[in-house]
Every structure is written in structure tokens, then in C-alpha cells.
Amino acid sequence: MPVTFFPTSRNARPHAHPGRSLPAARGGSRPSGSSPSGRRTPRRWLSGWLNRNRRLAVALLLCTAAGIAVHQLTPAPANTVTALAAVRDLPAGTALTATDVVPVSIPPGMQTAGSFTDSAAVQGKQLAAPLRKGQLLSDAQLLGPGLLSGTPPGSAAVPLRMADPSSVQLVSPGQLVNVIMTSGNGYDQHSPSEVLASGVPVLWTSSQGGKTGPWLGTAETDGLVVVAASPEQASRLAGASTQGKLFFVLVGPAAG
């Protein structure tokens, strides 16, 4: 029996046979997470990397959490102000230059009254007390009116010339002394000693460099001591070195 062939369209789809599924298209369907080129997507790559490096991932997460906690707990930096500090140990009597001090930034709470911000303001000023390296400078540490800072109102700085110039080396700023005057010569003329001032603090001595300061108008500073005195004590001490010989006695602070 002859077989007859019927022409079909080139694009005609074959009829599906009942109960049979059509073969998959050439190339098959793409697996989930793959790109058309066959490469894995970033999401799938990241998932695979995390599976292989779990410990490293946990460590990174912990470090990140710790950094965030430290940032949250660290207080914001406070405002700072400028002050002058000694660049090295400076002995009492030093005439300051621009190389002796350096500007530093400090919290406002550390700034003291009478502090300086410009090195030009202290050039040529003389230290009344030694400064340690890094110590902040104020007018209370310079020979001048600032030395009277903190003293009772009406206090005066009184210069005295001691009868024994070498004894001045035994005292330093802050030491309390009794100032004693005697008009006798120790031989044919005897006179009782008189206490002119008790427990007065020493502000400056000539042993701290032998240079004149704002109070002293002469270069002859040998044996000079400057003390802080009350108005009553100052009236007795003024000119006392012309009435007799002056000596001092070291004393301790009075009991509270």
C-alpha cells in the first residue's frame, strides 16, 4: 500500500502524545542563582563564601560590633584652650625666652587664672620658682605682682637685705620665716633683738639667679629677700635694714 506524505509547516510544533512529555529544550533550564552565562550570581557566591569561612565571618562581625560599642561609649572630645608649659626643667631665676616655653592644648578645666597663651608675653620675665618640664606657667611663678596671688587683701611684697648674704641660700620661695632685727654690734653695744614679722612667706631671693626683677631697681641684689607682708608688717619692715641688722629664722606652717 502506498504511503502518502503530507507537507507540514517548518515551524509547526509536533503534537504531544497523550501521556508523554515533550523533551526539554536544548540547553535545559537554568538552575536557580545562575546567570545566563552560567556564572553564579553575587548572592550565591556570598552564600558559598560564608559556608566555607564561617569562623572568619563571625570574627568580623564581632570586631564590627565591638568597634560600634567603643564609638558609642567614647565621649566626644571636649573643647581645648591654649596655655604655656616649660619645655624642660627651668631653675628659679631663669629669664624666660621663646625657647623655654611651648604652647599646649589643655581642657578648659585645667586652665588657671593668670596663665599665658602667647610666649611673647613672658619673654624676659624672671622665674621666682623652679618649673618642671611640662608644668604650666602662670603669673604666680614670675617675679612681679603675680607672686602675691592668693595672699590676703592688702598684702605687700617687701624687699629686705639680710646682714648675712650667704644665709639667703638657705631659703626658697614658699618658705616661712620670722624676720628679726638687732641694732647691737655684738661687742661694745648690745641691744635686744626684735621680731618685726612672724611667719611671712618668701617670694624671691637673690640666690635664684642674682638678676633684678620688676620690683628691684638696682643690680646689687646680694643678700636680698622679698617677702609677702601684711600692711602692719610691711610698715615695720620698710627701711628696717637702715635701722639695724636683719636676720631670718626658718619656721614651719602654723597649726590649723
> Is the pLDDT reported for residue 180 higher than 90?
yes
pLDDT in tens, 200-220: 998 888 776 544 444 444 445
pLDDT in tens, 104-154: 988 888 888 888 888 888 888 888 778 889 999 988 888 777 778 778 888
Residue 247's DSSP bridge partners are 180
Place of cell 573643647: 79
> Is the pLDDT reported for residue 192 higher than 90?
no
List C-alpha distances in Å: 114 to 139, 172, 203, 228. Answer: 5, 22, 17, 19
pLDDT in tens, 221-234: 678 888 999 999 99
> Is the pLDDT reported for residue 19 higher than 60?
no
CA distance 165 to 184: 18
pLDDT for 252:
80
pTM exceeds 0.85 = no
Q: Which residues contact 123 (CB under 8 A, 6 or more apart)?
A: 96, 97, 98
pLDDT for 139:
86
Confidence of residue 4 (pLDDT cuts 50, 70, 90): low
pLDDT for 78:
64
pLDDT for 37:
53
pLDDT in tens, 29-76: 555 555 555 566 777 776 777 677 777 777 777 788 877 877 666 655
> Is the pLDDT reported for residue 177 higher than 90?
yes
Q: SS3 for 201?
A: strand
How do 224-229 and 194-205 pair as beta strands? antiparallel
Of 222 and 23, more confident: 222
Of 54 and 236, more confident: 236
